[in-house]
């Protein structure tokens, strides 16, 4: 890719910003080129960053009034690796505030819209990154995935979204939501581009104590080699009556295509899949309540103005009430509750036990199969505002993704077809899950399907 892609990429971003609202800030072409310090495999490639990834220029806002004016003094490790490989960062993308959401509507900058139908959401929380890639603005964007925030928007926008194994990519410079679940991931048009990007950002980082020392294999060279004797596990719980009929149809067609490609489909039980949402919305908010305690108006973030007679307690309350939006406040309160005296064992400790059982269930399946296949989301992209008044309905959008984060496994969403909804053709993705640190084979399995189908070639008008 040549450097002259940066100018057209920025021009496209500016032209589509009023329609999509995918970015919260854009950088000029000279700044983007000058900050690119390497001569590696991504030279001249324009990239976008979810705005919870620190960058030593511009702002890092997390789409929150709490950090609207925050300027990071350093750059996230994964981002620096892109720069060292020659990539040029053209801007920061919109997200659900502090990565808490499934629609990219919980942002102080307003919602992002789906390029396939601008009355619908792009998914969340990495909705801005997904929309920017789907619209052809950039060929690569980074997102973060705590409970599906890379894979679900990838599905809704018809692109490839990869969440690596926990620890495979450094979290240094990623603003923390739930530290035992967060993972930086990639959003790209194709599997090949995902493999190339992951080859750059994966690897041990001494600045992140949770970073794995597991060697990173060559993710690109063997990508075109089909997996011999492929056995794909399909959980009975994934063929759920709650799935949208069009999602169910695309999923069954995907299973049939893998059969045609020579895979053996193995029906399995994943009994705790249905309990993933309950466990996740105990563990994640508990960690969020701790991580976000630092944003108090004193050490970090928005500081409220005090009136006569108001004290330090009032400053904390007013700063956090003004700085955090409703969804973030809801999760902080839920997390504080489940960690409080008398409730820790009943809720948080129980959720951790369920989490361990989930990992054991996946390990049992992987003893016989190389990957698990299931939907990425139970429905196609829904309309803006459709689920904002019903938090539980919104949370259920991640029913197939949160369990993978709880187990710390790698997973990816790949384009698998289109749903016909109200006269619109909306993309639908399916999800592949592999054993820990087996991204190389997972990418090969995804490429088998991509090579045999046309879905990844289609782009919104």
Active-site positions read 50, 125, 149
d(CA 116, CA 425): 8
313 conformational bin, left if phi > 0, alpha if psi -120 to 50, beta if neither: alpha
User: What's the CA angle centered on 445, arms 151 and 453, to 5 degrees?
Assistant: 80
- Reduce the DSSP state of residue 292 to 3 states and report it: helix
Q: How far is the C-alpha of 458 from the C-alpha of 268, rounded, in Å?
A: 32
- How far is Cα 355 from Cα 408, in angstroms, rounded to an integer? 10
Can you tell me whether residue 412 is helix, strand or coil?
strand
Cα→Cα distances 403→211, 233, 347, 360, 362, Å? 21, 16, 17, 12, 10
Q: How many CA atoms lie within 13 A of 203 on its CB side?
A: 14
Cβ–Cβ < 8 Å for 433, 411:
yes
Distance between CA atoms of residues 458 and 461, nearest Å: 9
For helices 439-452 and 245-260, the axis angle rounded to 10 degrees is 100
Distance CA 61, CA 52 (A): 7
Residues found in the chain: 461
Cβ neighbours, 10 Å, residue 423: 6
Measured distance CA(362)–CA(404) in Å, rounded? 9
């Amino acid at each position: 890719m040549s450097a002259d892609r940066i100018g057209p990429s920025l021009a496209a971003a500016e032209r589509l910003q009023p329609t999509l609202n995918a970015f919260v800030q854009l950088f000029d072409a000279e700044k983007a080129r000058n900050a690119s310090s390497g001569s590696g495999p991504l030279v001249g490639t324009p990239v976008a960053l979810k705005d919870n990834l620190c960058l030593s220029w511009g702002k890092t806002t997390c789409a929150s009034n709490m950090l609207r004016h925050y300027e990071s003094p350093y750059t996230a490790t994964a981002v620096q690796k892109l720069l060292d490989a020659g990539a040029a960062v053209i801007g920061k993308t919109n997200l659900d505030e502090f990565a808490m959401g499934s629609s990219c509507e919980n942002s102080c900058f307003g919602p992002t819209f789906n390029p396939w139908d601008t009355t619908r959401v792009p998914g969340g929380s990495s909705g801005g990154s997904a929309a920017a890639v789907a619209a052809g603005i950039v060929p690569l964007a980074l997102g973060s995935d705590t409970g599906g925030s890379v894979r679900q928007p990838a599905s809704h926008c018809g692109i490839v979204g990869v969440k690596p194994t926990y620890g495979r990519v450094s979290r240094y410079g990623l603003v923390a939501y739930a530290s035992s679940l967060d993972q930086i991931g990639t959003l790209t048009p194709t599997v090949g581009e995902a493999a190339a990007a992951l080859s750059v950002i994966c690897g041990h980082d001494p600045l992140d104590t949770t970073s794995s020392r597991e060697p990173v294999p060559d993710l690109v060279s063997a990508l075109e080699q089909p997996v011999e004797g492929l056995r794909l596990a399909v959980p009975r719980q994934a063929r759920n009556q709650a799935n949208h009929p069009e999602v169910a149809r695309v999923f069954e067609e995907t299973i049939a295509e893998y059969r045609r490609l020579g895979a053996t489909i193995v029906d399995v039980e994943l009994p705790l899949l249905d309990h993933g949402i309950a466990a996740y919305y105990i563990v994640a908010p508990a960690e969020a309540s701790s991580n976000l305690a630092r944003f108090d108006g004193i050490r970090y973030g928005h500081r409220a103005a005090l009136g006569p007679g108001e004290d330090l307690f009032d400053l904390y309350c007013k700063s956090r009430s003004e700085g955090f939006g409703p969804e973030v406040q809801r999760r902080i309160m839920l997390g504080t509750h489940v960690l409080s005296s008398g409730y820790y064992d009943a809720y948080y400790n129980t959720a951790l036990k369920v989490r361990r059982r989930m990992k054991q269930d996946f390990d049992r399946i992987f003893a016989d199969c190389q990957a698990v296949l299931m939907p990425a989301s139970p429905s196609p992209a829904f309309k803006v505002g459709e689920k904002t008044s019903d938090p539980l309905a919104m949370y259920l959008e991640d029913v197939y993704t949160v369990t993978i984060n709880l187990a710390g496994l790698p997973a990816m969403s790949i384009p698998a077809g289109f749903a016909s909804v109200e006269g619109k053709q909306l993309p639908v993705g399916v999800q592949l899950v592999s054993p820990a640190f087996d991204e190389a084979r997972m990418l090969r399995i995804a490429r088998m399907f991509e090579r045999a189908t046309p879905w990844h070639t289609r782009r919104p008008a």
